[in-house]
Amino acid sequence: MTDPTPYARAVPGSQPPLDSPDYGSTHRRAPKQEPIRAPVTLTEASSPRFALPSHADLSVVDGHAAMGERIIVAGRVLDERGAPLRGSMVEIWQANSAGRYHHARDQHDAPLDPHFSGQGRVFTDDEGWYRFTTIRPGAYPWRNHHNAWRPTHIHFSLFGHGFAQRLVTQMYFPGDPLLALDPIFLATADEAARDRLIGKFDLDITRPEFALGYRFDITLRGEAATPFEEGRA
């Protein structure tokens, strides 16, 4: 994400296509012609670092705890060699515990929580680690097909040294029965790559008498790359 040099190719089927027939809205927004590779310029490769505050606890707003199961999510952001990516900005957004986003366009008939905005921002440390506290999101209907429901998930946006270096993905939860029915999750054909989208329960991240912990590592390129919504890694 931050390296302008050529990167290792991903395994075929390990990245979702830009136009996935079962995921209806992709057909309307996917490009109709072959993409043109634009050369990486000095601006994209060496833009200033972000100077923004972190917001690592989504479970509390104005001193009031959000409703739902509190969880901790942590992991490392790595390149294809397993080296940590330092200072990467990781943005998070998600539905609340009832399966509703704090957004005017979300008209799902589920309660809003005044103490949960569903938005956060953290930065990776020198070892590539990030960590945040949040509420486990709920499933919600999304009208892609008959009786369609999204599995519980958290959206991730990763930035390198500038806004031109951005990747977007989602973290799912283990054991969710909706995964086998979800066209977005299944758009990644390779089963091993899909498994990298599922956060793993981690007792070391779990905090006693506070919250369960899940580990979600993100690899940016190469054979072990996390699937990204841009259709590449």
pLDDT, tens only, 25-78: 887 888 888 878 777 777 666 655 666 889 999 999 999 999 999 999 999 999
Q: Is residue 101 annotated as a catalytic residue, yes or no?
A: yes
pLDDT band at 165 (very low <50, low <70, confident <90, very high): confident
Q: Which two tokens stand for residue 35?
A: 């993409």
The domains of the chain, with CATH numbers, are 69-219 (2.60.130.10)
CB atoms within 10 A of CB 22: 12
Q: Which two tokens stand for residue 143?
A: 């009208």
pLDDT at 233 over 50: no
pLDDT, tens only, 91-110: 999 999 999 999 999 999 99
Query: What is the structure's pLDDT at 30?
Result: 85
pLDDT at 6 over 70: no
Query: What is the structure's pLDDT at 162?
Result: 61
Query: What is the structure's pLDDT at 47?
Result: 58
pLDDT, tens only, 70-89: 999 999 999 989 999 999 99
Q: Is residue 64 annotated as a catalytic residue, yes or no?
A: no
Q: Is residue 103 annotated as a catalytic residue, yes or no?
A: no
User: Measured between alpha carbons, how far is 208 from 202 in angstroms, rounded to an integer?
Assistant: 12
Q: Is residue 55 annotated as a catalytic residue, yes or no?
A: no
Mean pLDDT of the chain: 89
pLDDT, tens only, 181-230: 999 999 999 999 999 999 999 999 999 999 999 999 999 988 899 999 87
Out of 70, 155, 161, 221, which one is annotated catalytic? 155
pLDDT at 5 over 70: no
Out of 70, 76, 121, 150, which one is annotated catalytic? 150
pTM: 0.89
Q: Is residue 140 annotated as a catalytic residue, yes or no?
A: yes
Q: Between the CA of residue 11 and those of 23, 35, 138, 179, 221, what are the distances in Å?
A: 22, 19, 32, 22, 10
Out of 23, 76, 101, 221, which one is annotated catalytic? 101
